[in-house]
């Protein structure tokens, strides 16, 4: 029997003003897998994630997450019924009036534990925030203000906020953009570990092919408002689609891939 997708996006259309951005986009993500979306800047990748979160209503089409029709729900319904859905925004989207520590513990002060239904004590919240900040390479920054941090640091605090909250369906928008290679590798490890520990279902949007290979099970290519190709990561780089090939030709490839492509040529 075929598995039911955890995220099922069907035939999404979206125009902003006179600019069509999504033109019949469909994508399925199965329980426990990580799908990476690649594509040129401005293709509509972030817009796609925002539709899945329910932050943007589609002109046409449906978004189903864990059997719930996201596009038919009100914000209030989403807030209460799909607490296990989390997103790492490209900008970090921190609350500027809260400290780093308060940002990281935010969801624990809003919701009880997703599994046990219990509220975390103040001591427990502090411990979990401390651990998460350490995991993203920012130990002891609880009292800093977001405005004191660099863009990459803000995104890592946003990632700590997700780790603390532990959603099981996670959308990551450019988690490693603008980070140095060592920090980027740490972020990839966090994404992989979260997938393993929580059997999380994830979508990762990235321009970083090394990261795509580290974290992805399948790779998807977003072009002109649609997902035009999806393949297991080992097969993706061999797809004979000129749009994918043009993207790969102009993207810095990790050594392991260059070898694979040369062998295949
Ligand atoms: N709320 C909005 N109102 C009007 N236009 C929008 C809105 N959101 C996105 N767009 C437009 O939709 C297009 C796709 O934007 P999007 O942010 O999804 O691109 P992207 O693929 O994520 O690019 P990047 O790789 O640079 O992050 C852009 O042309 C953008 O200007
Ligand atoms: Mg984007």
CA distance 205 to 203: 7
> Are 26 and 15 a contacting pair, CB within 8 Å?
no
Question: Which carries the bigger pLDDT value, residue 201 or residue 77?
Answer: 201
Closest CA to 150 of 189, 101, 191, 100: 100
The residue nearest atom 24 of ligand 1, judged by CA position, is 41
Mean of the per-residue pLDDT values of the chain: 89
- Order of strands across the sheet with 218-223? 85-88, 169-173, 201-205, 34-39, 218-223, 226-232
Question: Mean pLDDT across the stretch 69-97?
Answer: 86
**Treating both helix axes as pointing N-terminal to C-terminal, what angle do 181-198 and 151-165 enclose, rounded to 10 degrees?**
10
Q: Is the CB of 88 under 6 A from ligand 1?
A: no
Query: How much of the chain, in percent, has pLDDT values that exceed 90?
Result: 56
Q: Is the CB of 28 under 6 A from ligand 1?
A: no
Question: Mean pLDDT across the stretch 48-57?
Answer: 94
Q: What is the pTM of this model?
A: 0.90
**Which residues in 31-166 belong to E strands, given as ranges?**
34-39, 60-65, 68-69, 85-88
Q: How far is the CA of 156 from the centre of ligand 1 (A)?
A: 22
Cα distance from N-terminal residue to C-terminal residue, the chain: 37
> Residue 40 CA: which ligand 1 atom is closest?
25
Q: Tell me the pLDDT band of 99, cut-offs 50, 70 and 90.
A: very high
Q: Tell me the pLDDT band of 261, cut-offs 50, 70 and 90.
A: low
CA distance 7 to 18: 29
Q: Tell me the pLDDT band of 111, cut-offs 50, 70 and 90.
A: confident
Q: Is the CB of 223 under 6 A from ligand 1?
A: no
Q: How far is the CA of 174 from the centre of ligand 2 (A)?
A: 7
Closest CA to 169 of 25, 49, 59: 49
Per-residue pLDDT tens for 151-205? 888 989 999 998 888 889 999 999 998 888 888 888 899 899 888 888 999 999 9
User: In a mutational test of the pocket of ligand 1, which residue from 17, 19, 25, 46 has the highest number of ligand atoms less than 8 Å from its CB?
Assistant: 46
- Angle, CA 259 vertex, CA 255 and CA 263 arms, to 5°: 170
Residue 218 has pLDDT above 70, yes or no: yes
pLDDT of residue 117: 81
The helix/strand/coil state of 227 is: strand
Query: How much of the chain, in percent, has pLDDT values that exceed 70?
Result: 94
The residue nearest atom 1 of ligand 1, judged by CA position, is 16
Q: Is the CB of 179 under 6 A from ligand 1?
A: no
- Angle, CA 102 vertex, CA 98 and CA 108 arms, to 5°: 135
Backbone φ and ψ of 229, nearest 5°? -145, 140
> Are 45 and 39 a contacting pair, CB within 8 Å?
yes
Q: Which residues crowd ion ligand 2, with CB under 5 Å? A: 46
Q: How far is the CA of 43 from the centre of ligand 1 (A)?
A: 7
Residue 1 has pLDDT above 70, yes or no: no
Question: Mean pLDDT across the stretch 227-250?
Answer: 90
The helix/strand/coil state of 263 is: helix
> Residue 222 CA: which ligand 1 atom is closest?
21
Q: How far is the CA of 235 from the centre of ligand 1 (A)?
A: 28
Q: Is the CB of 79 under 6 A from ligand 1?
A: no
Q: Is the CB of 41 under 6 A from ligand 1?
A: yes
pLDDT of residue 43: 92
The helix/strand/coil state of 239 is: coil
Residue 10 has pLDDT above 90, yes or no: yes
Backbone φ and ψ of 152, nearest 5°? -65, -35
Residue 22 has pLDDT above 90, yes or no: yes
């Amino acid at each position: 029997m075929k598995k039911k997708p955890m995220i099922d996006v069907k035939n999404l259309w979206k125009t902003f003003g006179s600019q069509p951005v999504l033109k019949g986009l469909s994508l399925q993500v199965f329980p426990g897998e990580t799908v990476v979306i690649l594509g040129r800047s401005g293709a509509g990748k972030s817009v796609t994630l925002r539709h899945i979160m329910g932050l943007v209503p589609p002109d046409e089409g449906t978004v189903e997450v864990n059997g719930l029709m996201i596009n038919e729900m009100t914000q209030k319904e989403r807030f209460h019924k799909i607490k296990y859905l989390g997103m790492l925004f490209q900008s970090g989207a921190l609350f500027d009036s809260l400290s780093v520590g308060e940002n990281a513990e935010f969801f624990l002060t809003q919701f009880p534990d997703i599994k046990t239904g219990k509220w975390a004590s103040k001591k427990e919240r502090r411990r979990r925030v401390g651990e998460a900040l350490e995991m993203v390479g920012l130990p002891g920054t609880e009292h800093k203000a977001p405005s004191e941090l660099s863009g990459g640091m803000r995104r890592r605090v946003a990632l700590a906020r997700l780790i603390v909250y532990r959603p099981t369906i996670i959308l990551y928008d450019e988690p490693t953009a603008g980070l140095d290679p060592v920090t980027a590798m740490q972020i990839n490890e966090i994404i992989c570990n979260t997938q393993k520990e929580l059997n999380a279902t994830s979508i990762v949007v990235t321009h970083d092919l090394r990261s795509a290979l580290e974290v992805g099970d399948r790779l998807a290519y977003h072009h002109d408002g649609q997902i035009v190709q999806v393949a297991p990561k080992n097969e993706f780089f061999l797809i004979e689609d000129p749009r994918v090939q043009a993207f790969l030709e102009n993207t810095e490839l990790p050594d392991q891939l260059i070898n694979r492509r040369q062998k295949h040529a």
